Amino acid sequence: MTETKSDIRPAAETHPAAGQTTRFRPDIEGLRAIAVLLIVLAHAGVPGIAGGALGVDVLFVLSGFLITASVLREVDRTGRLALPAFLGRRTRRILPAASLVVIVVVIAGYHWLGPQGGDEIAQALLGLHFSAPLQHFAALAVVVQFSLAGPVALLVLIWLGFRWALPYWVGAVVGGAFAYAVWQFSWSATCVWELGAGCLLALVAGRLERVPYRLGAVLSAVGLALIVIAALTFTILPPYATALPVVATMLVLAGRGDSLLGVRPLQWLSRLAYPFYLWHWPVLVIAAAAYGAPLPALVRALLVLGSLGLAAVTYVCVENPIRRMSGPLSLTVTVAFVLVAAPVAVSLVRLSTP
């Protein structure tokens, strides 16, 4: 994911203590939809969108912003963060759909890619490597790690009385990670500074409320235009060039341009963005391997539509029901998905071993 990215929760509230009201952010929903759509179109080989992979950078910034804002909001409201409950919510949001995709991909890999291809996919689930049909899970793994480490780090610093210094410390980390990524390319450093940029924006979110509405609309329009221009013109992004989609995303978040990104098609697509991201890449990769030649444009288009259909089924039959369950029941179902996915991978690895 690009947390997928990505993983990002639909309700995007901001920092109440900083003077912001807790409210739904249609602009974030719309931006997530655009980011995932750019990724999918780029992976599908749509002409003119070779730079669509920068959607992952957008999703990283969104993830950093939303996770940090969620932590700060709960701390301000209750004076504490129920870390197990917080992590439980993240787990229920991420793992069921991801586990379902892994199970299907492992089985499909053995059917269409043969034992060797299926074995590589199964080993990817076990953490041995990320094989081609699951390589997009690497971005998801980054967001999961941030979901675990980020809240803990914030809580420790707040508990030590350093909340006032958080923007400065996070800013220093962002600057250092960006400099390192430019000096000696490191994907890990790139992830750190992009997630950190979103985190930093959440920490100063209260000040953004003072931005006049018209100026905010201009900021959002400029940010969105920069993202689209970068997706249409960039091919291979040098490390320093990732600053463009990151800054553009921050402009959109700061501007709160609901009128631009709050249109119904984007809001609808945003609900399916996470499972759409999970399904599209393995569908394209496995189909290409089974076809044995470059896929025609019409076939790729049908595969993208098929991936969107799978995303809709996953959203309706897996994500929504689990989200509506009570805490203990939803956690039990989530664990069950993982417990099913892991043995599938282990069994197929053993079956393919001479």
Asked if residues 150 and 199 have their Cβ atoms less than 8 Å apart, the reply is yes
Q: Where does the pLDDT of residue 337 fall: very low under 50, low under 70, confident under 90, or very high at 90 and above?
A: low
Please give the Cα distance from 150 to 171 (Å, whole number): 14
- In our burial notation (b when 16+ CB lie closer than 10 A, e otherwise), range 74-83 reads bbeeeeebee
pLDDT at 140: 86
pLDDT digits over 165-204, tens only?
999 999 999 999 999 888 877 778 888 999 999 999 999 9
- pTM of the full predicted structure? 0.84
pLDDT digits over 218-255, tens only?
999 999 999 999 999 887 767 778 899 999 999 999 98
Asked if residues 286 and 133 have their Cβ atoms less than 8 Å apart, the reply is yes
Dihedral sign from CA coordinates of 280, 178, 49, 269: positive
Please give the Cα distance from 86 to 147 (Å, whole number): 9
Quickly count helices (H) and strands (E) in the chain.
Answer: 15, 0
Mean pLDDT, rounded, for 279-284: 94
Residue of 140, 241, 243, 145 lying closest to 193 (CA atoms): 243
Is the model's pLDDT at 290 over the cut of 70?
A: yes
Is the model's pLDDT at 347 over the cut of 50?
A: no
Going from N- to C-terminal start, the domains of the chain cover 16-352
Say whether 6 sits in a helix, a strand or coil. Answer: strand
Please give the Cα distance from 29 to 271 (Å, whole number): 8
Using CA atoms, how far residue 283 sits from 6, 40, 287, 303, in Å, is 17, 11, 6, 7
pLDDT at 134: 78
Q: Where does the pLDDT of residue 323 fall: very low under 50, low under 70, confident under 90, or very high at 90 and above?
A: confident
Is the model's pLDDT at 10 over the cut of 80?
A: no
Mean pLDDT, rounded, for 105-134: 61
Mean pLDDT, rounded, for 112-128: 54
Q: Average pLDDT of the chain?
A: 80
